[in-house]
Amino acid sequence: MGITIVSFGFFRLERLRCIRHTGGMHDDVLQDEENKLVRESVRTLFVRHRLSLPGIFVITTALLFAYRNANQVQLAIWLAAIGLSSLVQWFCIHSYFRNPLRFGGYGWARLLALSSGMLGIVLGLSAYLFLDLNNGTSVVLATLFLVSPIYGSTMFAAAYFPVHAVWCLGSTMPLALYFISSDATDFIVLGLGLLLAGIPSALTLGWILAGEFKRSLRARFENVRLIGALRQEKARVEKISRDKSRFLAAVSHDLRQPLHALDLFLSSLKPRLDQQGQQRLLGLARHSSRALGEMLGELMDISRFDAGKISPELRIVPLSPLLRECSDEMHPLAVEKGLKLRVRVPRRGCVTTDPVLFKRILRNLLANAIQHTQQGGVLLGTRMRDGFMYVEIHDTGPGISEVQLAHIFDEFYQIDNPERNREKGLGLGLAIVQRVAGMLGHDVTVRSIPGRGSCFSVAMPLCAVAEQCRQEVIMIPTVAADVAGLFVLVVDDDCVILQGMRELLLGWGCEVLLAESEAALLGKLEAHEYPLPDMLISDYRLRDGHTGLEVANSVRRHFSSEIPTLIISGDVHPDVQASVRNMGYFWLEKPVQEDALRRVLAGACGLRAG
Instruction: Give the model confidence (pLDDT) of 471-500 as tens digits.
Output: 443 333 344 567 888 899 999 988 888 888
- Residue 547 DSSP code: B
Question: How high is the pLDDT of residue 20?
Answer: 47
Closest C-alpha among 334, 402, 338, 416 to residue 369: 334
Residues 316 and 441 in one domain: yes
The band of 7, judged by pLDDT with boundaries at 50, 70 and 90, is very low
Residues 393 and 420 in one domain: yes
Question: How high is the pLDDT of residue 249?
Answer: 61
Q: Is the pTM of this model over 0.85?
A: no
Q: Which own/partner contact pairs does 145-150 have at CB distance under 8 Å and 24+ positions apart?
A: 145/59, 145/62, 145/63, 145/66, 146/59, 146/63, 146/171, 146/172, 146/175, 147/172, 147/175, 147/194, 147/198, 149/55, 149/59, 150/198, 150/199, 150/202
Domain of 414 in residue numbering reads as 310-468
pLDDT in tens, 565-584: 998 877 656 677 777 878 88
pLDDT in tens, 222-238: 888 888 888 988 888 87
- Has residue 218 been placed in a domain? yes
- Has residue 481 been placed in a domain? no
pLDDT in tens, 39-56: 888 888 888 877 777 888
- Has residue 245 been placed in a domain? no
pLDDT in tens, 550-564: 999 999 998 888 889
Averaged over 189-218, what is the pLDDT? 86
Three-state SS across 32-93?
HHHHHHHHHHHHHHHHHHCCHHHHHHHHHHHHHHHCCCCCHHHHHHHHHHHHHHHHHHHHHH
Query: At which of 232, 265, 281 does a domain end?
Result: 232
Phi, psi of 350 (to 5 degrees): -120, 150
- Has residue 595 been placed in a domain? yes
- Cα atoms in the 13 Å half-sphere on the side-chain side of 415: 20
Averaged over 385-394, what is the pLDDT? 83
Residues 441 and 491 in one domain: no
Phi, psi of 394 (to 5 degrees): -100, 140
Question: Per the structure, how many domains does the chain have?
Answer: 3
- Residue 194 DSSP code: I
**Amino acid at site 606:** G
The band of 596, judged by pLDDT with boundaries at 50, 70 and 90, is confident
**Amino acid at site 210:** A
Whether 588 shows a pLDDT value over 80: the answer reads: yes
- Has residue 513 been placed in a domain? yes
CATH number of the domain encompassing residue 526: 3.40.50.2300
pLDDT: is 124 or 474 the higher one?
Answer: 124
Residues 431 and 543 in one domain: no
Whether 79 shows a pLDDT value over 80: the answer reads: yes
Residues 179 and 317 in one domain: no
- Has residue 473 been placed in a domain? no
Residues 55 and 193 in one domain: yes
- Strand-pairing partners, residue 491, are 515, 538
Query: Which of helix, strand or coil describes residue 570?
Result: coil
Distance between CA atoms of residues 601 and 576, nearest Å:
21
Residues 81 and 177 in one domain: yes
490 torsion bin: left (phi>0), alpha (psi -120 to 50), beta (else)? beta
Whether 23 shows a pLDDT value over 50: the answer reads: no
Query: At which of 216, 232, 248 does a domain end?
Result: 232
Are 465 and 389 in contact by the 8 Å Cβ rule? The answer is no
Distance between CA atoms of residues 558 and 180, nearest Å:
115
CATH number of the domain encompassing residue 357: 3.30.565.10
In terms of Cβ atoms closer than 10 Å to its own Cβ (0-12, 13-18, 19+), residue 43 is middle
Residues 464 and 498 in one domain: no
What is each CA distance from 159 to 40, 217, 222, 224, in whole angstroms? 9, 10, 18, 19
Q: Are strands 453-463 and 388-395 parallel, antiparallel or unpaired?
A: antiparallel
Distance between CA atoms of residues 595 and 585, nearest Å:
18
Residues 405 and 454 in one domain: yes
Distance between CA atoms of residues 539 and 250, nearest Å:
16
Range name among 2-6, 127-131, 224-228, 441-445 with the lowest pLDDT average: 2-6
- Has residue 448 been placed in a domain? yes
Residues 410 and 537 in one domain: no
Query: At which of 232, 266, 297 does a domain end?
Result: 232
Phi, psi of 326 (to 5 degrees): -70, -40
Whether 609 shows a pLDDT value over 80: the answer reads: no
Distance between CA atoms of residues 576 and 548, nearest Å:
11
Q: How far apart are the first and last CA of the chain?
A: 115
24 torsion bin: left (phi>0), alpha (psi -120 to 50), beta (else)? left
Residues 498 and 429 in one domain: no
Kindly state the helix (H) or strand (E) to which residue 447 belongs, with its residue range.
strand 443-449
- Strand-pairing partners, residue 490, are 514, 537
- Has residue 126 been placed in a domain? yes
Whether 470 shows a pLDDT value over 70: the answer reads: no
- Residue 541 DSSP code: B
The band of 304, judged by pLDDT with boundaries at 50, 70 and 90, is low
Give Dmax (Cα) for the chain. 132
Residues 333 and 441 in one domain: yes
